[in-house]
Amino acid sequence: MIVKDGQRYIEQCIESVLPAVTEIIIVDTGSTDSTLEKIKRFNPSVYHMQWNNNFSDARNFSIKYATGDYVIVLDADEVVYSEDLPKLVEVMKNTRSDCLTVRFHNLTDENDDNVFNMHEGLRIFKNGLYRFEGAIHEQPVFNLTDRIPITEQSGIRIKHYGYLKSNSGEKKFNRNMTILNEVLEKTPNEPFHLFNMGNQYMSTGDYNAALKYYDKAHELKDIKLAYSPHLIFRRVSCLKNLCREEDALIAATQGLKLYPACTDLEFLRGLLLAGMKRYTLAIDSFTRCVEMGQAPPNLCFFPNTENIRPMIELAEIYNIMDDHHRALEYYLRAIKVDGKAYYLIYKIAASLNKLFADKSMVYKNLCNLFADSSYRPNAIVMTDALLNEKLFEQAEITLDTCMNSINDDDPEENADIIFLRGRMLFYAKEYNSAFQSFRDYICTDKTKGILPNMESRARKYMLACGLLCNDCRDFSITLKEVMDDSIEKSVYHAFLEAASSPLDDKALCIISQVLSNLLAVSEYDVFEKALNILNIVESNNILLRLSKIYFNNGFHDMAVKTILRSVKELGTLDSEAIMILSKKFAT
């Protein structure tokens, strides 16, 4: 392992492989944090090297000290999944291959380890058979010339934290840019370096600069090399981000001719077609993803593009087409793949609500999704989903089930129930009691909560309660205490204290949710008065946001009128607004 200032994850990294290795070799290139102090308890062999802007030099310096039969190369921000440790132990004992690949899960969401992209990389090899080449994004090279290496896909997964924004700051970007500029000055037509320079710009959102390098790399590519399918996929993604959908679609189609087993590329093609409203072709594309199955490891960039993700996309398209039977079919297929995907319960509830006039059938079908619908987590999610659909009678049944399981000895487990009780009271127009319930929730330890975004949702409900009560002095004091986000505080001041400081799009998102809560309980006078806040929002999306509030609360004619105002007065229109208009004028 080569390290520099790797204190954040290095202990996790070493602990994740400790039972599988006989020695730990660390080459430090100039740490100034507590990295070296943290690793002392592992008793590693530590060597020091002056950093010379060349990762291969550091890698080769580190592996020369290895004494075991096999070498595992890791970075300080890489952690082997605990579930895969037994497999790693077995591999290190029994493999006879020259090298083994592992699968990297490159995390991209600070708050969710299940959001990542993937690549396959060679990180385990027989000692003495490999060296590294390349100043940056260094690659292992087989030392023997008289035969090809015996390679094995280990299936071992590694969690990589290095692409998170909190770990890839300006300093890291500038270091990589310096090295890439140096190597491109020497070899300006090396496609791998051009590809990596494109990745650098892609990571910052500079898609025009990224495309410039991807295009040149694409012209010079060798499709037999491991990075080539990644280049094609990222180039398509880059074109998509630049809103060049037709070019992206052509590039995806060409890429599939080179790599016909790449399910991820077919999925991306489906997204492009859906975004272009070519729904019949998108359906064909997503259906093909399911038929293709999982791609070979070297062609996998994202998880679940062979099952859950295309199934959900198919369901969404059928919803747009008002074919709610088919939509429900695909949501149900998706949840069979992953029974823990609770977010699908909300989509299934919405489909059932559109299909059944008898709302008891919505409740019955939701219950049938679970082996035990009275099991606390299941009942909690069902209650939340039923409340979203305004099926209060059915939600009360499931909430009663939750209330019967309140644990007075462990208040942490009750956070979801307190939140749901607040929602139920709000829709019953018992605003004072609802406010108290949400305040109780805010003050509760929420580490064992199940429902998504509860704290943010609770504060917006509290703000709506404050607007709905005549004497909001007590509400104002409490709201000041619980609003811990600067944007939320600005919205609070604008709503309750008639502050007139300009608000932006981020504030508009919060405002929209509060307004929607008011409209959901038919408090039209308060809603109309609250609309005045939009006068201080500096955004061209105001009327589009308002139209969606109307539409989602059943006021379809008002939604259409507001969209037409948006086009006339602000010149703005988006895909969701177009869908609303098409539904209206189709009838």
Give me the CATH number covering residue 60: 3.90.550.10
Measuring CA to CA, which residue among 182, 207, 203 is closest to residue 193? 182
d(CA 139, CA 58): 12
The model's confidence at residue 446, banded by pLDDT at 50, 70 and 90, is: low
Domain match, 513 and 545 both: no
Measuring CA to CA, which residue among 584, 472, 470, 446 is closest to residue 523? 470
Domain match, 423 and 475 both: yes
Average pLDDT score over residue span 230-239: 97
pLDDT digits (tens, 9 = 90+) for 314-361: 999 999 999 999 999 999 999 999 988 999 999 999 999 999 999 999
Domain match, 459 and 544 both: no
Residue 586 has pLDDT above 80, yes or no: no
Q: For 31-61, give the DSSP string.
A: --SSHHHHTGGG--EEEE----S-HHHHHHH
Measuring CA to CA, which residue among 505, 510, 576 is closest to residue 542? 505
Q: How many domains does the chain have?
A: 3
Domain match, 535 and 565 both: no
The model's confidence at residue 500, banded by pLDDT at 50, 70 and 90, is: confident
Contact 106, 290 (CB under 8 A): no
Chain-centroid distance of CA 385 in Å reads 21
Helix (H, G, I), strand (E, B) or coil at 174: helix
Looking at residue 508, its pLDDT comes to 94
Domain match, 575 and 452 both: no
Residue 244 has pLDDT above 70, yes or no: yes
Average pLDDT score over residue span 515-541: 95
Answer yes or no: is 511 within a domain.
yes
Domain match, 422 and 567 both: no
Measuring CA to CA, which residue among 525, 554, 521 is closest to residue 392? 521
Domain match, 554 and 503 both: no
How long a stretch of residues is the chain?
587
Domain match, 581 and 432 both: no
Domain match, 556 and 418 both: no
The identity of residue 160, as a single letter, is H
Q: How many CA atoms lie within 13 A of 409 on its CB side?
A: 0
Average pLDDT score over residue span 212-223: 96
Mean pLDDT lowest for which of 244-248, 528-532, 575-579?
A: 575-579
Looking at residue 413, its pLDDT comes to 67
d(CA 437, CA 423): 9
- Domain around 71: 2-164
Contact 341, 335 (CB under 8 A): yes
Looking at residue 575, its pLDDT comes to 86
Looking at residue 166, its pLDDT comes to 86
What tokens were used for 489? 């505080």
Looking at residue 474, its pLDDT comes to 61
Answer yes or no: is 154 within a domain.
yes
Looking at residue 480, its pLDDT comes to 66
Measuring CA to CA, which residue among 247, 254, 251, 245 is closest to residue 272? 245
Average pLDDT score over residue span 131-135: 96
Answer yes or no: is 553 within a domain.
yes
Looking at residue 73, its pLDDT comes to 98
The last residue of a domain, from among 164, 183, 211? 164
Residue 110 has pLDDT above 90, yes or no: no
At residue 28, what are phi and psi to the nearest 5 degrees?
-100, 130
Domain match, 453 and 552 both: no
pTM, full prediction: 0.90
pLDDT digits (tens, 9 = 90+) for 414-438: 889 999 999 999 999 999 999 999 9
The last residue of a domain, from among 143, 164, 185? 164
User: To 5 degrees, how large is the angle CA 377–CA 378–CA 380?
Assistant: 65
Domain match, 443 and 572 both: no
d(CA 335, CA 366): 12
d(CA 42, CA 440): 45
Phi-psi map region of 96: left, alpha, beta (phi>0 left; psi -120 to 50 alpha): alpha
Domain match, 535 and 547 both: no
Measuring CA to CA, which residue among 77, 59, 70 is closest to residue 20? 70
Average pLDDT score over residue span 405-421: 77
The last residue of a domain, from among 116, 149, 164? 164
Number of H helices, E strands in the chain: 27, 10
> Bridge-partner residues for 47, per DSSP?
27
pLDDT digits (tens, 9 = 90+) for 282-301: 999 999 999 999 999 999 99
Question: For all residues of the chain together, what is the average pLDDT?
Answer: 93
